[in-house]
């Protein structure tokens, strides 16, 4: 659940992969900086 292994490589099946994908999508490179952003859920 946290780090894999998973059958899908896009990060939707584990927490670390999802975090990595979200950081890449938003352009942040450090977790500390990523924690300070505003989150909008729709």
pTM score: 0.63
d(CA 16, CA 4): 8
CB contact at 8 A, 5 and 17: no
Q: How far apart are CA 40 and CA 14, in angstroms?
A: 21
Predicted local distance difference test score (pLDDT) of residue 1: 65
CA 41 vs. chain centroid, Å, equals: 15
For 6-37, what is each residue's pLDDT tens digit?
Answer: 788 777 788 888 888 889 998 999 989 988 88
| Domain boundary assignment for the chain | 1-42
The Cβ-side half-sphere exposure at 38, using a 13 Å CA radius, reads: 1
């Amino acid at each position: 659940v946290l780090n894999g292994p998973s059958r899908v490589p896009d990060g939707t099946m584990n927490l670390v992969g999802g975090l990595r994908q979200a950081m890449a999508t938003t352009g942040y490179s450090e977790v500390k900086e990523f924690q300070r952003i505003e989150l909008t859920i729709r």
